[in-house]
Amino acid sequence: QVQLLESGPGLVKPSETLSLTCTVSDYSITSGYYWGWIRQPPGKGLEWIGSIHHSGSAYYTTSLKSRATISVDTSKNKFSLKLSSVTAADTAVYYCVRDQSREVPAIDWGRGTTVTVSS
């Protein structure tokens, strides 16, 4: 069973950069298809942020493309999300996920981590 664990600050100030890491256990990140980030603002639906392959190829949602960067560290079996110039609208639960294949997205999820943007 693949284990995914998100970590990072729970509070970020407006205009700063949100940084989260997803640690993958019991599975090699280089064996996976794509690894992604999904977020959910309080009381709202799911928003796909982006995904990365262990080779470094990444895709992002249109609305966050200019602010989001996903990277992968195969030596540490982790991947990360950076979101710059955050505002209160970026307050959300952030989930990391494993895509098994093009046909099987988000088969495994982390528990999620809450990030609040506030001064």
Partner 1 sequence: EIVMTQSPATLSVSPGERATLSCRASQSVGSNLAWYQQKPDQAPRLLIYGASTRATGIPARFSGSGAGTEFTLTISSLQSEDFAVYYCQQCNNWPYTFGQGTKLAIK
89-118: contacts with partner 1 (CB under 8 A): 95, 99, 102-107, 109-112
Contact between 6 and 24 (Cβ < 8 Å): no
Question: Whole-number minimum distance, CB 84 to partner 1, in Å?
Answer: 18
CB closer to partner 1 out of 16 and 48: 48
What does the block give as tokens for 33? 């298809």
Interatomic CA distance for residues 84 and 98, integer angstroms: 23
Interatomic CA distance for residues 18 and 108, integer angstroms: 23
Considering the rule CB under 8 A, would residue 35 count as an interface residue with partner 1? no
Q: What are phi and psi of 85, to 5 degrees?
A: 50, 50
Interatomic CA distance for residues 13 and 99, integer angstroms: 31
62-91: contacts with partner 1 (CB under 8 A): 62
Q: How many CB atoms lie within 10 A of CB 86?
A: 18
Considering the rule CB under 8 A, would residue 119 count as an interface residue with partner 1? no
Question: Whole-number minimum distance, CB 69 to partner 1, in Å?
Answer: 15
Question: Whole-number minimum distance, CB 17 to partner 1, in Å?
Answer: 21
Residues that bind partner 1 (CB under 8 A): 36, 45-48, 50-51, 59-62, 95, 99, 102-107, 109-112
